[in-house]
Structure 1
């Protein structure tokens, strides 16, 4: 059961959080510029695995410094912050991420631009927290990577696709509610471990 949660919760959360996120907008921009979907998709995969592996490793490392109860309180606060952050719409300056690297071709440009765009992004922060919460490190990294691909591959394959056609406000609210539920679960777990609930 824990193994399934370590895979499917990160997959669903990141897929939802990524819709309308700046990296999805970046995928749309790259697809429009290069019109070569498969090198872009491979670039997204490589950048995401590298970025989320590092984020997951940090999550596991940080978790080792705290008791289970303290870590649960920290996670509750962090999930609550990410829930609020999810409601803030992202935008991307067309020259901000990809223009500097365009001469490297679609694969390398995508890899570099996505890796940089994910630094400090909410999906990277979520990966840190999920790796700290769930015991199966590799399943969390695979799950968050799958979530990124679920959100971004359709955008790349349909280069004319516009995220504006989706009900972004509703999707962001659902993602925020999911993070809020995780915050509630972490707080309940922390209260139980602290002996507050009997």
Structure 2
């Protein structure tokens, strides 16, 4: 039980204010369907953290140092641009199937989680406890504990503020994260 509890606590704390928590808010605002977004986060986290516990060291060997930072910076810039463009009328609820919100969330979360501190924590915890299943379970619980409230916040925010302002704020934050990551990569 110790690997589950420690993994859940470490990842929940690491996730607070993280880019994937921001992504949860953006996706909930965009789709206005919290349950498919939550399901997408769960599937993406299970897949990503399961693979991290099994093969995280291989990822670090393939994409390390500056290359990993360049990929992450590009994903931030891409997400910033994506956040600016509405799918349909901004003030109308999205007519998206549950699979659309689910699939978009699962893919986006899986990709943005690559190289993230919670992914790295998952690799380290699995190495420490030698228990892939319990560590992946714990880190998934931690991710969900941090992101479910963010999803409901994002969905509720669209009732208070026009979606174009939420989209602009998210784009600016993602662009800032992209610039910061790119600067760190260039600086070396």
TM-score interval (norm. to shorter) = 0.5 to 0.7
| Residue of structure 2 in register with 1:5 after alignment | 2
The answer as to whether partners of 2:26 and 2:83 remain within 8 angstroms in 1 is no
| Residue of structure 1 in register with 2:172 after alignment | none
Q: Does 1:46 align with 2:46?
A: no
In structure 1, how many angstroms separate the alpha carbons of the residues matched to 2:84 and 2:100? 11
Aligned residues: 131
In structure 1, how many angstroms separate the alpha carbons of the residues matched to 2:139 and 2:49? 7
Structure number with greater Rg is: 1
**Cα drift, residue 58 of structure 1:** 1.9
TM (norm. structure 2) is: 0.61
**When you count helix as a share of all residues, which structure comes out higher?**
2
Unaligned residue ranges in structure 1 (runs of 5+): 63-90, 163-198
Q: Write the deviation string for residues 41-60 of structure 1: whole angstroms up to 9, x where unpaired.
A: 00000000000011000258
Q: Which runs of 4+ in 1 moved over 4 A?
A: 59-62, 96-99, 101-104
Q: Does 1:17 align with 2:11?
A: no
| Residue of structure 2 in register with 1:31 after alignment | 28
Unaligned residue ranges in structure 2 (runs of 5+): 60-75, 88-93, 158-165, 167-188
Alignment RMSD: 3.0
TM (norm. structure 1) is: 0.59
Q: Does 1:124 align with 2:101?
A: no
**Cα drift, residue 158 of structure 1:** 2.6
**Cα drift, residue 105 of structure 1:** 1.9
